[in-house]
Amino acid sequence: MQAYMKSDMPFLGVGAKPMRDACRRAFADFDFSSGERWRHAVLAIWRGARYREERYGAIELSGDRRALPHQTPASLPMYEEMIVTGAWWDLVDGIATRRLGPLLRSHPRVMRRRMLAWSRSKNLWKRRSAILCQIGAKADTDVGLLYACIEPSLSRRDFLLCKAIGWALRQYAWTDPGEVARYVRARRAELSPLSRREALKNIRPGARVSAEALPARATR
């Protein structure tokens, strides 16, 4: 597992289901009445982790349903630290899609500004998180925000950013394939081949062809 994840931190070798079962038992009696206590506990586990699964455990505690009242912009610094110090997809992507995404939908004004700022960050993982945060939003996707978060990374050729762009577009294509095909056509010269392939992977050829006839329109 350590070799597969290219991780400096060792693994215990515990699979996802038994890890989650262990977390459920460990956190059963945790007092979620205080947001500050919850955030402190998450970061204490995260910072003190000696094994990768312990960081997975911190992520599990961060998403416990009993913590829902505390899922506000006040928790964003916690997630930011976890993203910046986690700095690998197995830790970052779940936080981006399952923590930042719901925060964006419940606090759009604040989170929109923060994600736009993250999309221009010098930190690759904050950029990736801003691009991925709407995965799973389906028809509730803020398409303008999605494109705006992709925009600063269009000229970058980092594999992890190109893959994130393609993944985010591919997921939205389940909701609006014609729009994604149109966007890829309009930005063909700027998108990396990897991003284009990923974005169009689940779009039927007919949808791609029909999109060619659509006039290009502003993407921001």
**pLDDT tens-place string over residues 103-128:** 999 999 999 999 999 999 999 999 99
Are 77 and 46 in contact by the 8 Å Cβ rule? The answer is no
Separation of alpha carbons 179 and 3, rounded Å = 39
User: For all residues of the chain together, what is the average pLDDT?
Assistant: 93
Q: How far is CA 130 from CA 6, 9, 85, 92, 122, in A?
A: 23, 25, 16, 11, 13
What is the token pair recorded at 193?
């081949």
pLDDT of residue 206: 63
**Last residue of one domain, picked from the residues 36, 70, 104:** 70
Same domain, 165 and 131: yes
Same domain, 11 and 93: no
Give the count of domains, the chain.
2
Separation of alpha carbons 128 and 132, rounded Å = 6
**Last residue of one domain, picked from the residues 70, 99, 115:** 70
Query: Quick one: pLDDT band at residue 208, thresholds 50, 70, 90?
Result: low
Same domain, 58 and 157: no
Query: Quick one: pLDDT band at residue 211, thresholds 50, 70, 90?
Result: very low
Same domain, 28 and 100: no
Are 127 and 121 in contact by the 8 Å Cβ rule? The answer is yes
**Last residue of one domain, picked from the residues 70, 104, 128:** 70
Give the domain range for residue 53: 1-70
Same domain, 132 and 45: no
Same domain, 80 and 164: yes
**pLDDT tens-place string over residues 117-163:** 999 999 999 999 999 999 999 999 999 999 999 999 999 999 999 99
**pLDDT tens-place string over residues 61-72:** 999 999 999 999
33: three-class secondary structure by DSSP: coil
Gyration radius of the chain over CA positions: 19
Separation of alpha carbons 135 and 209, rounded Å = 25
141: three-class secondary structure by DSSP: coil
